[in-house]
Amino acid sequence: MTTQTTPAARGAGVTSRNRLRSLVETPEVGVVVACAAVFIALALARDTFASAVNLQGMGFDLAQYGLIAIGESLVILTGGIDLSVGALLGTSVILISWFNVRAGLPAGVAMLATLAITGLIGLWHGLAVTRLKMPPFVVTLVTYTVAQGITLAITSGTSIVGISGFFGNIGQSYIAQLPVPLILFVIVAGAAWFFLERTFVGRQVYAVGGNPEAARLAGIRGDRRIVSMYVTSSLLSGFAAMLVLGRMGVGSASGVGVGWELQAIAAAVIGGVSLTGGQGRILGIVAGTVLLELITNGLTTLQINSNYTNIVLGGVLGIAILADRLRAKHFSSRA
């Protein structure tokens, strides 16, 4: 007896295959699967990796790296780049400490003053790129260099001690065994997701990064969108500095923020954000940050020489950039 497939059944099968194909082609799927695979492998290799203490420590790290990764990604979505996020975070740590300890300002005021400065720096980045037509690489590289110089000039190689306990309460506290910084990161990531995925302005950011000329002809104020993303990136660097300061307990310039911009860019690219702009989602950015943290923490847990960490992270970044180029070439050939 021959069984005939009804049109409805065939249509359902085609729909299922299309959905599966769409899921496989989604850039975020690969990095999410990679996160799960790396976590399982490291948990099997070393029992202490999946311990509550280690996972909580990873939560603290994930928050501070993730915040600047989100800021970096917002800029990249517009077709730009921000090399200053790490150095600006380090300078913000010192500024908050200086305002709080040496200027005698309350913790909240010191934080607001620092955010005001970082916001102005982001405004300068955006205006220099949009009005003066300066390359984003050059503009933010200048800030990177100046920020490091300011940090050393303020501290003169010493740490600022005696900061308010307010920062420690935020940077080292838990809610239901979850680190407060991690909760704040999830809130920021959720807000960024809602902005990009559910608002008209968020869709305009994608349009400006994907095709600036088409966006201009559509009446989108591209310059405003670009400036706002640079401001947001700088503000998130300042906000992340508060969490870092809370963990350290002192305003120290040694190593804070150095090279973090590379991790932010790597998290974005690994998560599916195209370096040409206009492509990428918050889910992928978060997953990219998680993957980098898993790799970094895993190497430490396995007691592998720290000198190899940058080699591994650089290799992961190189693979991510190659995948980004191949993906872009694939979609352009299909267009």
Write the CATH number for 104.
Answer: 1.10.3470
Q: In this structure, is residue 110 part of a structural domain? A: yes
Question: Who contacts 81 (Cβ-Cβ below 8 Å, separation ≥6)?
Answer: 75, 136, 137, 140, 265, 275
**Whether 148 contacts 90, CB under 8 Å:** yes
Check residue 87 and give its pLDDT. 95
| Cα–Cα distance for residue pair 298/304, rounded to 1 Å | 9
Which residue's entry shows tokens 């352009």? 332
Q: In this structure, is residue 281 part of a structural domain? A: yes
Structural domain for 91, as ranges: 29-302
Mean of the per-residue pLDDT values of the chain: 88
Check residue 155 and give its pLDDT. 85
Kindly give the pairing relationship between strand 174-175 and strand 178-179.
Answer: antiparallel
Q: In this structure, is residue 198 part of a structural domain? A: yes
Check residue 285 and give its pLDDT. 94
Check residue 15 and give its pLDDT. 63
Check residue 324 and give its pLDDT. 67
Q: In this structure, is residue 20 part of a structural domain? A: no
Distances (CA, A) of 76 to 25, 45, 80, 91, 126: 21, 36, 5, 22, 13
Sign of CA pseudo-dihedral 42, 46, 50, 56: negative
| Cα–Cα distance for residue pair 287/268, rounded to 1 Å | 9
Distances (CA, A) of 143 to 80, 91, 110, 239: 15, 11, 21, 18
Check residue 24 and give its pLDDT. 56
Domain count, the chain: 1
What pLDDT, in 10s, does the model give residues 254-303? 778 888 998 899 899 888 898 889 989 999 999 999 999 999 999 888 88
Which residue's entry shows tokens 């997701």? 193
| Cα–Cα distance for residue pair 179/56, rounded to 1 Å | 6
Check residue 319 and give its pLDDT. 77
Chain-centroid distance of CA 10 in Å reads: 43
Q: In this structure, is residue 317 part of a structural domain? A: no
| Cα–Cα distance for residue pair 270/303, rounded to 1 Å | 25
Q: In this structure, is residue 170 part of a structural domain? A: yes
Q: In this structure, is residue 218 part of a structural domain? A: yes
Check residue 333 and give its pLDDT. 65
pLDDT lower than 70: segments of the chain = 1-27, 324, 327-328, 330-335
Check residue 16 and give its pLDDT. 61
Q: In this structure, is residue 156 part of a structural domain? A: yes
Q: What is the DSSP letter of 50?
A: G
